[in-house]
């Protein structure tokens, strides 16, 4: 295991970590699920943010005891992505994001690893003016297995040309922490998403913070200063 302060890359999650996408995600899911006759709570959706659109839709349809096939799920997935791509005006970066990314840039490799679709991310990053900070962006379009499977982080480290154990992941969900651990990466958990600090602590992240405004604590951990 590589020592703290010897990281060569930081891999950020998007939904609930860098950006408050909750309204856009819930709205787009609810619209397509209602069209399929599936009534589900907002919390059901919020607590699955990070596992991917397709898997969330499948779990919601199962919860509603509805019959479905791959074609139906694919159709609902595409429509959900289309709706969410038009909701970027209700997505905001969390406080501290720009400062943190600006501080890290040039000192360490930076990746974005998100189970959001490429269509949504390709629209959001330029709009929020942060695309310049990322050396690599990996979206759900490139991934077969969703979190908590480590695939997305393994793909990210390969694209960065950095060993998994030389990466630190910043995540807000229990699925993300599990995936980071399975990838043999260290993990900073931030309680800005749908999961409480207590729930995140149960997954034993290497560090836990309340928000990305705690820049100094994060930098101390990443650079061992």
For the stretch 51-88, pLDDT in tens is: 889 999 999 999 999 999 999 999 999 999 999 999 99
Locate 88 and state its tokens.
Answer: 């970027």
Same fold, 9-20+91-223 and 22-89: no
pLDDT over 70, % of the chain: 98
pLDDT tier, 129 (very low <50, low <70, confident <90, very high otherwise)? very high
pLDDT tens for 23-45 read 999 999 999 999 999 999 999 99
- CATH number for the region 9-20+91-223 comes to 3.40.50.1000
Lowest mean pLDDT among 47-51, 132-136, 211-215: 47-51
What pLDDT is stored for residue 198 in this prediction?
Answer: 94
**With 60 as the cut, is the pLDDT of residue 5 above it?**
no
Residue 1 has pLDDT above 80, yes or no: no
| Helices 70-85 + 53-63 axis angle, to 10 | 120
Q: For position 63, what pLDDT does the model report?
A: 97
pLDDT at site 224: 85
Q: Provide the pLDDT for residue 225.
A: 76
- The predicted-structure confidence for 145-171, as pLDDT tens digits, reads as follows 999 999 999 999 999 999 999 999 999
Range 178-185 average pLDDT: 98
User: Are β-strands 19-20 and 207-209 bridged in parallel, bridged antiparallel, or unpaired?
Assistant: unpaired
What is the torsional sign of CA 130, 107, 200, 54? positive
> What's the pLDDT score for residue 2?
41
CATH architecture of the region 22-89: Orthogonal Bundle (1.10)
Domain boundaries, the chain: 9-20+91-223, 22-89
Task: Residue 197: name the closest of 188, 210, 186, 181 by CA.
Answer: 210
pLDDT higher than 90, residue 132: yes
In tens, the pLDDT along 196-215 reads: 999 999 999 999 999 999 99
How many other β-carbons are positioned within 10 Å of the β-carbon of residue 52? 22
In a 3-state reduction of DSSP, which class is residue 49? coil
């Amino acid at each position: 295991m590589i020592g703290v302060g010897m990281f060569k890359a930081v891999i950020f999650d998007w939904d609930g970590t860098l950006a408050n996408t909750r309204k856009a995600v819930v709205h787009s899911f609810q619209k397509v699920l209602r069209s399929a006759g599936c009534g589900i709570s907002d919390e059901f959706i919020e607590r699955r943010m990070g596992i991917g659109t397709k898997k969330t839709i499948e779990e919601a349809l199962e919860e509603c005891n509805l019959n479905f096939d791959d074609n139906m799920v694919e159709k609902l997935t595409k429509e959900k992505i289309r709706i969410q791509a038009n909701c970027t005006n209700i997505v905001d970066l969390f406080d501290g994001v720009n400062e943190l990314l600006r501080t890290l840039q040039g000192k360490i490799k930076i990746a974005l690893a998100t189970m959001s679709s490429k269509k949504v991310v390709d629209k959001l990053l330029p709009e929020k003016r942060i695309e310049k900070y990322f050396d690599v962006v990996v979206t759900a379009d490139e991934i077969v297995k969703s979190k908590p499977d480590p695939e997305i982080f393994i793909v990210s480290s390969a694209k960065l040309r950095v060993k998994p154990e030389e990466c630190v992941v910043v995540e807000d969900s229990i699925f993300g922490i599990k995936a980071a651990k399975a990838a043999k990466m260290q993990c900073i958990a931030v309680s800005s998403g749908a999961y409480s600090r207590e729930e995140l602590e149960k997954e034993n992240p290497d560090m836990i913070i309340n928000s990305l405004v705690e820049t100094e604590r994060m930098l101390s951990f990443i650079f061992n200063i």
